[in-house]
Amino acid sequence: MDKRLIPWLVSGMMLMPGVAFADIDFDIDGLKKPLEENVRVYLDAIPENERRLNFRFQSRVTDEVSRALQALGYYDPTVTFTVEDKASSDDATVVLNIDPGPPVLIADMDVKLEGEAENDPAFKALLETAPKVGDVLNQGQYDSLKSSIQSLGIRRGYFDGEYMLSRLEVAPGLQKAYFRLHYKSGIRYHFGQIVFHDSQINEERLESMLTFTEGDPYLVTDLGAYNQALSNTGWFSSVLVEAGLDDMRDDRVPISVSLAPAPRNQFETGVGYSTDTGPRVKIGWKKPWFNSRGHSLNTDLYVSSPKQTLESTYKIPLEDVQREYYQVQVGVENLDNNDTKSLELTSSVSRNWKFDTGWQRSVFLRWLYSDYTQGTDSDISNLILPGINFSRVRSRGGAMPYWGDKQSITFEMADPIWGADINLYRVIGQTAWIRSLNDNNRGIVRVNGGGVFTDEFERVPPSLRFFAGGDNSIRGYGYESISPRDEKGNLLGGSYMATGSLEYNYRVTGNWWAALFVDAGDAWTTSSPSWKTSAGVGVRWESPVGPVRFDIAHGFENESDDFQLHFSLGPEL
C-alpha cells in the first residue's frame, strides 16, 4: 500500500468514522484501452455503500482489478494507489497506476470433434475463427467458443451432442493456458413428418411454401424461414413451426406447424393530410383468405377533395405461393383538380413474379374508360393497354430508413387492332436512393421521368398525361400545376415529364431532423422543356408510422413568386 495513503486514512477515520464519501472516482494509468475498459467495468460494480477510503476498500479494489485483468490473460499485475483530494474532504480521486505484467499465452488448443459434426463444414468454419496458439488468453473467447460449438450443434440437428471434456487450464507461473474442449456430437437428425394443425388453407398450398423436405438434414434456419413465409401470406393470425424434440425416432425429428386463421373480414380506416390533396380518408375492407385455396380480396375507398377512388383487388396465388400469383383489379375514380375533370373506369388482369434478387415483374392487360375534360380538350376514351412493369424496393432501418432504394419502370401500349380508340406508347420510370454517412447525416436522390408517344394527344385521357409540381415532385409549385397550357391558360398535361430532387437530412435531436433540398423538372410537349427549379428547407419527424415532412420551398420560375408550404406523411420509397 502507498505510504502516503495511511496518514490520510487514519485522519479521515478519526474525523468521520463510518461515514462514506459522497463521490470516489478512479483514474487509471498504465493500461492499454481494452484492459482499462475491462478494469473500469469491474470497478463500477463496487456498490456505493462500500466506497469508503479504508483498508477493506483497497483490498476490494485490488481484487476487482486482478479479476478484470485475469479475464484478459494478465495474472501478475502490480497496482499502486494514490489518493488525491478534489474539491472537499468528502470528494476524492483514487489514482491507480497499474502494470499488468506479462500476459498468459495460449499454449495448446485441444479442441476435438467426434461424431458426424467432425465432417460438417459449418463446424470447420467455426473452428477457423477460434483463438490460435500463441494468442494472449481471453477467458471470454474460451466461453464463447464453448457455447458456440454447443449452440451450432443444436441449430444443425445434433441433439445428442455433449462435452466429454471442457476445461480451461491456466498455469500463471509458466504464463501458459490450455483450451480443452472435446465435443461428441452423435448423429445429425433429419426433418421428419410435417404435421399441420388448425389450418383453414389446403395443405398442398402450405406444402408448396416449404423451405425443406422430409429427409433433409435439420437446420433451424429452415424452420424460421418457413415460419416467416407462412406469416407473410396474411392467412393466419399466429404461426408456430417447431421441432418435436420429445418425439424423435431413429434420425428423424417430426415438425409441428400450429396455425390460427386470420379473421375472415378485416376493416381499417385512416385519415391524413397533405398540401397536395388536403384532408383525405381511406376505408379498407380485406378478406385475407377468401377460400381454402388462399385467394384474397382487398377493397379500398379513398376520398379527398380532388379525387375519390373505389378499387377492389382479387389475388390468386399460384403453385409457388410466395413468388407467383394472378391479380384481378376493378376500380372507379372521379377527379376534379385544377383544369382536370374526369370519370374513369378501370379493370385489369396481371401475372406477377417475385425473384430472389428482390425484383418483381408484372405482365398486365388493362381496360381504361375515361370521360374527361382537360383544359379545352373534352372526349370519351376507351383504351385496352397491355404492358409490363419491373420494380424493386429495398430498405434498412424501419419507417425512416437509413439505407434504401427504389426502381420502377413500366411500358404499355394501345392500338386499334385490339379495340383501342387510338394508337399510343407510354413509358414511365422512377428511381430513388437513400444513403447515410452515419446516424446523423443522410441524403436522398430522386429521379422520375416518362413519355407518351401518339399522333392524337388530344384524345389521351388525363391519367396518361404528365403533370409536375407538389409535395412529391417539384416543391415550391402547386400540385400538378406544371404542364403545357392552352391559349386560355388552362393546363393540358404534357407528353413528357422529367423531375429530380436532391435532399440532405441532419438529425437535430432524437427523432427530429432538418432538411435542405433542391428540386427541378418540367412536363412538356414541345422538344424544348422549360425547366422549373426550386429550393427550400424542411423539418422531418420520425414518427412510428413513418416520416412526417413539413417543407417551405420557393419556385424560382413561379409567377406568383410566393413560398409554398408542403406537408405530407408517408414512406419515402
pLDDT averaged per 10 residues in sequence order, the chain, 573 residues: 37 37 77 92 86 84 92 92 66 86 95 95 95 94 96 96 95 94 96 94 92 94 94 94 91 95 93 80 94 95 93 94 94 92 96 94 97 90 97 90 96 95 96 96 97 94 94 90 90 95 96 96 91 95 88 87 83 85
The phi, psi pair for 414, rounded to 5°, reads -130, 150
Q: If residue 160 lies in a helix (H) or strand (E), which one and from where to where?
A: none
pLDDT of residue 494: 94
Q: What is the pLDDT of residue 5?
A: 38
Predicted confidence at residue 398, as pLDDT, reads 81
**The model's pTM:** 0.78
What pLDDT sits at residue 561?
A: 66
Residue 226 and residue 212: Cα distance in Å, rounded? 8
Comparing CA positions, the residue from 492, 490, 503 lying closest to residue 537 is 503
Euclidean distance between CA atoms 79 and 61, whole angstroms: 10
N-to-C CA span, the chain: 65
Residue 200's pLDDT is what? 95
DSSP-assigned letter for residue 42: H
Q: How many helices (H) and strands (E) does the chain have?
A: 7, 25
Q: How many of the other CB atoms lie within 10 Å of CB of 165?
A: 11
384 by Cβ neighbours in 10 Å (0-12 / 13-18 / 19+) ranks as middle
Q: What is the pLDDT of residue 217?
A: 96
Residue 301, Cα to own-chain centre: how many angstroms?
A: 29
How far is residue 491's CA from residue 487's CA, in Å, rounded to a whole number? 10
* Strand ordering across the sheet containing 105-114: 105-114, 176-184, 162-171
